[in-house]
Amino acid sequence: MTEQRVDSCDLLCLDLPHAEQIRAGLPALPEVEPAAMRARALGDPTRLTIAAALSSGDELCVCDMAWVVGQAQNLVSHHLRQLKHAGLVTSRRDGKLVMYALTPQGKALAAAVLGEPVVEGGQRG
């Protein structure tokens, strides 16, 4: 029995007008690079777990986040800085605490990666 390849065409068939229309509408590389950086930021299991926790908990301090995800506070702080650099979380100082929350882009991307809808208020749908 011959195995069929399903990942490529057997013929060179190019619908040039259709392909050109799609190609012309693609974003330029400088526009795509920040999105790729945000996607890479959630490619780490710890950062994705942090994003999942923030999508459930709205806003958390580093101490609470470390306990929630079961990691050392310095490691969680490092990952939160990376998520902040990627534009996926914001931080604010509340006295001696630093509180973190997902940005709207962070909520949307975390929901897409986790495969779970996130509704307003941070609750999972």
Q: What is the pLDDT of residues 18-68, one digit of tens each?
A: 889 999 999 999 999 988 888 899 999 999 999 999 998 789 999 999 999
8 A C-beta contact, residue 61 and residue 97: yes
Q: What is the pLDDT of residues 61-88, one digit of tens each?
A: 999 999 999 999 999 999 999 999 999 9
8 A C-beta contact, residue 49 and residue 69: yes
> In the CATH hierarchy, which fold is given to the domain comprising 29-120?
Arc Repressor Mutant, subunit A (1.10.10)
8 A C-beta contact, residue 79 and residue 50: yes
- Domain locations in the chain as residue ranges: 29-120
pTM (two decimals): 0.74
User: Positive or negative CA dihedral for 59, 69, 43, 33?
Assistant: positive
